[in-house]
Structure 1
Amino acid sequence: MTDLFTLDAELRTDLGKGASRRLRHANKVPAILYGEGQEPVSLTLEHKNVFRAQQEEAFYSSVLTINVDGKPVECLIKDMQRHPFKNLVMHLDFMRVDAKHALHANVPVHFINEENVVKLGATIAHHVTEIAVTCLPKDLPEFIEVDLADLVVGQTLHLSDVTFPKGVTSDELAKGEAHDQAVVSANAPKGSSDEDDSEDATEEAAAE
């Protein structure tokens, strides 16, 4: 995984739409690297390496290493432009990170033990697929696990119910209780309340 997220890049001086088009025809991807108070630089990467890396979920929530003309730079992927119907990456935006500075990133959510709740007859509603977090680069998780083992029908888990890894905090919770958004719900099957009412009415009629 480490090798997969280490990409070689070359500095690019030939800019503009025409230059980018020529790069893509040569199976290369134009990119830009910015952040940490330094000037943005334009880069070129091999498309095959980028395409292979971007197929991994962790690519979007990991600190990457970009070797810019042999000099390693740690960064995050901040934006990716894809071709509307071809399997092509058109452009990449990388943001530099500093080991001593906290960063903001969106981390995917993995729900586990979901089958336990489904067995109870509940339908699961996922309200988020990723969570915005703040942490130092060394603490950035590839994903955040949300355990549904103890979830019961009718219950909703919020951000405040999520166990975050050490050194990782939720950006939304930092804004206050009003931003404690729902993460996942276990909803009763549709029509179950009506069926219960019907059964109750039948039992009452029989008793009379």
Structure 2
Amino acid sequence: MSEDTKVQAELRTSFGKGFARRLRAAGKIPAVIYGHGTEPVHVALPGHQVSLIIRRANAVLELQIEGKGDQLTLVKDVQKDPVHQIIEHIDLLVVKKGEKVTIDIPVVLVGESASGTIANLDATTLSIEAEATHIPENLEVSIEGLEDGAHITAADVVLPKGSTLLSDPEVLVVAISVPSSGTAADDEADAAAEAEAAAE
């Protein structure tokens, strides 16, 4: 685990919307830790640091909890204010080093398809099983030089070492096609119309 994922967490004993509002006003984020048959633990996290970390999908936080030692957690849910986009609450799942977890990983296209074609991303995420401490930030799919009609399925995507594909291997991830702009046909129709008008 890298140093930037180590987070100091404070135990919370007070609850309710009013207390949560005061926490956020102080630059902290209310969170709950659960999983592995343990009782839920309510904590407050440093807002700015955690906001930067969870920009990455499936972020793992190494919490240093006062009085309870270190705890490895996976960010499972982030609740935001729909208007102001302020993080209101985070759900954290307890994970163990070496343990495998099921997560959805964003698909990112790399390169350029053949001239005149466009790449249609059909599957924006793929579900995989990976070690909790080795979760990839994204899955890169190269479309460099692919021609019209080419397609890539989930089975074609290269996964990081130790990861297993859980999505249907036949799921279409990317399809390459030539956009039907219709401009040439429109031009021909316009030309024909003009010819008819001239003949009259």
TM range (shorter): 0.7 to 0.9
User: How far apart are the structure 1 equivalents of 2:118 and 2:158?
Assistant: 23
Q: Say whether 1:13 aligns with 2:10.
A: no
User: How far apart are the structure 2 equivalents of 1:125 and 1:111?
Assistant: 10
User: Are the counterparts in 1 of residues 53 and 59 from structure 2 also a CA contact under 8 Å?
Assistant: no
TM-score normalized by the length of structure 2: 0.82
User: Are the counterparts in 1 of residues 58 and 76 from structure 2 also a CA contact under 8 Å?
Assistant: no
Pairing partner for 1:103 from 101, 104, 110 = 101
1:201 equivalent in structure 2: none
Q: CA deviation at 1:189?
A: 1.8
User: How many aligned positions are there?
Assistant: 184
TM-align CA RMSD:
2.2
User: Are the counterparts in 2 of residues 105 and 132 from structure 1 also a CA contact under 8 Å?
Assistant: yes
User: How far apart are the structure 1 equivalents of 2:118 and 2:181?
Assistant: 12
User: How far apart are the structure 2 equivalents of 1:95 and 1:38?
Assistant: 10
Q: CA deviation at 1:68?
A: 1.3
Superposed, 1:49-198 pairs within 5 Å as 49-54=49-54, 56-57=55-56, 60-69=57-66, 71-113=69-111, 115=112, 117=113, 119-149=114-144, 151-173=146-168, 180-191=170-181
User: Are the counterparts in 2 of residues 36 and 98 from structure 1 also a CA contact under 8 Å?
Assistant: no
Q: Say whether 1:44 aligns with 2:34.
A: no
Q: AA paired with 1:146? A: V
- Show structure 1 runs of 5+ residues with no match: 199-208
User: How far apart are the structure 2 equivalents of 1:143 and 1:48?
Assistant: 23
Tell me the alpha carbon deviations over residues 123-161 of structure 1, each in whole angstroms, 9 at most, x when there is no partner. 111112222110222432222111112522112211011
Q: CA deviation at 1:87?
A: 4.6
**DSSP 3-state at the match of 1:99:** coil
Identity %: 30
TM-score normalized by the length of structure 1: 0.79
- Show structure 2 runs of 5+ residues with no match: 189-200
User: How far apart are the structure 2 equivalents of 1:4 and 1:100?
Assistant: 20
**DSSP 3-state at the match of 1:4:** helix
For residues 172 and 152 of structure 1, do their structure 2 counterparts lie closer, same or farther at Cα, with a shift above 3 Å needed? same
Which has the larger share of helix?
A: 1
More displaced stretch, 159-168 vs 143-152: 143-152
For residues 42 and 155 of structure 1, do their structure 2 counterparts lie closer, same or farther at Cα, with a shift above 3 Å needed? same
**DSSP 3-state at the match of 1:22:** helix
Q: AA paired with 2:34? A: Y
User: Are the counterparts in 2 of residues 7 and 67 from structure 1 also a CA contact under 8 Å?
Assistant: yes
